[in-house]
Amino acid sequence: MVMEASPSPQSVGREFVRQYYTLLNKAPAHLHRFYNNFSSFVHGGLDAPNRETLPVVGQKQIHHRIQQLNFRDCHAKISQVTGELSNGGAPMRRFTQTFVLAAQSPKKYYVHNDIFRY
């Protein structure tokens, strides 16, 4: 019996970033599917640049928060998940985003923590 090797952290990370930002551009209403009920999500700077943005926890609350952000026609230039992001035709803004992925099974991951800052 041949056991399949688990994917390397680098390949998991690259594939995650590819899928996440493709979905952000094409179907942002489905981004919440990367998260589960134990996930936390912070997306600050866009709606309150001078105020601390508190995290939301759980897939349902994350979905609600993503809807509030009103992502549409987003484009990102990715460089180690720092780059520039344009939402709805607005000018590009520099950002950094940190993800912590957790394993659900040997080959399936979810976003456990997500922190986004402009």
The CATH label, of 1.10.10.10, 3.20.20.60, 1.10.287.3240, 3.10.450.50, for the domain at 9-117 is 3.10.450.50
Task: Over range 8-33, report the average pLDDT.
Answer: 90
pLDDT per residue as tens digits for the range 79-88: 567 889 898 9
pTM for the predicted model, two decimal places: 0.70
- Bigger pLDDT: 80 vs 15: 15
pLDDT tens string 41-89: 988 765 556 677 888 999 999 999 999 988 888 886 665 678 898 989 9
Q: What pairs with residue 100 in β-bridges?
A: 113
Give the range among 29-33, 37-41, 71-75 with minimum mean pLDDT: 71-75
